[in-house]
Chain A
Amino acid sequence: MAARAGADPEARPHWSGQMGFVLSAIGSAVGLGNLWRFPAVAYENGGGAFLIPYLVAFFTAGVPILWLDYAIGHRYRGSPPLALRRIQRRFEALGWFQVGLNVLISLFYAALLAWSASYFVFAFTRRWGADTETFFYDTYLRRPAGAGFNLDFVPATAGPLALVWLAVIVIIALGVRRGVERANVVFIPLLTVAFVLLVGRSMYLPGAETGLDALFTPNLHRLLEPSIWIAAYGQIFFTLSISYGIMMTYSSYRRRKANQTTTGLVVALANGSFEMLAGIGVFCALGFMAAKEGSPIDHLVGDSGAGLAFITYPRVVSEMPSSAFFGVVFFGSMFMAGFTSLLSNVQVVVASAQDKFNLSARQAALFVCGPMAVFSLLLFGTTSAFYTLDVMDHWVNNVGIVVSAVALSVLVVWVARKGRELTYHLTVLSTLSVGRIWRSFAGTFGPFVLVVWLVQWLYSTYANGYHSYPRWFLIADGWGAIAVCGLVGVVFTVLPWRSQPDDFTPWPEFSPQVAQRLAHWEDTLLDLSADDPFEAGEK
């Protein structure tokens, strides 16, 4: 179909069906963070006991905010700038801020994928040798001694990076249904099978049970520490890909009558399940390693970031009996998980450009992804890539996305007062109803928790810096990235639309009468004899 996106909501591309959407949404949510962030976070924050704050955070912040994303994208049918503009003109700037975040994330995420792709190839011969750390930093990345920016290209990383972008451009150019959805329909089942195999095999490694003991032994007394709860909210928040436009964009491609909340729950739980699986797999491998070296397991967990994937895991793989299998499947899975997430990031940018400038998918792929590929190569195809990536990643996630989430909830629920309308939208279209409780979690509790998170992050960063990077580099690379997003937010809002964004009426209509019925329904929610006020609707 013609992928031209404009004022006419029916001209918008669509998923082939609910399945296509759910798989793509899972593909977006399941990413590198699930593989290498969750295991370490869970281990450091109470092990088995972490499950409790994790689940609480899941239901009190993760799912409610995910639904908020769905509701906005689906009701106002657009990429973040378009959908938010339709709520209130000025909110368009927040939409572009989110686009800015997605641009930056895409730039460095592609580099991580390029590294995974390289390691996938290395895995066949275990090219990393015995000293995986030196191999990663010096032989492969050719990282210089101090943080900074430079333009010394490294062919071994720039080459795969260019290939990743090429693949992205081709898939995006094919459009939402034939490109993005197909890629997810292929990759997600494949990823699931491959990863289940990997984890299943890992459980039979000698020493695996010590690893699982380490991961799951509950330190229940630690539940009293606020830091564990903060960590749980952070983990849920970062793993679900919420509040920075992806879920908004994806749900804008759904049919007008599409089940919202139930699919959201499925996606969120699928993401959590995968995370759990990754935790098991990683800790089995660590347990094996600990047994082999006769060292305690916490020496191995050290790094929750790229280090776990590119330094610790290769070392484990080298020790393993059929090491080509473990390495190849692990890095292959990593690549697939990351690639589907990267597509969703890029799609946000492309969809926004399409909506505003009335471009076809092919034009957008060329004019938007082309420049992004160039910037990605300039920043992350060089020897300074690791530092630039590390700091930018840290800031975009901890400041950019959190600020975006707080602003989204506060603006939509409090400033534009769309809480009831979105409640109605979710409820009337879905098989799982929401009401006041959802509003208070998505509109009040969620942003409150995130502000607490942000303040404690700012505190520790201001007091201690980040790793041992010089402060000027943190300002340039970290705060600079946030400033770029802010600038994108302002500049693109000011540019004129080449379509009629405001020529739009949300469906289903939320008239004052409907609002009254909703209020009545909410009041009698626990009264099972009450009639369903919406059954007269078109559902």
Chain B
Amino acid sequence: MEPTPIVFMILAMVVIWGSLLASTVFLATRPEVATWPPGGPTDEEDAALDDID
């Protein structure tokens, strides 16, 4: 391959795949907000479904 295309290929990979990686990492580190708005069903309630089966 020639240099310019290589640069662009790498650029594309870095930017797009990199963003995927970055966003995945971001999600992994902060999967959910730490402080929830008050009210609404709790996680326990949401999980109460466990007993339905």
Report A-B touching, CB under 8 Å.
Answer: no
Chain B residues proximal to chain A, CB less than 8 Å: none
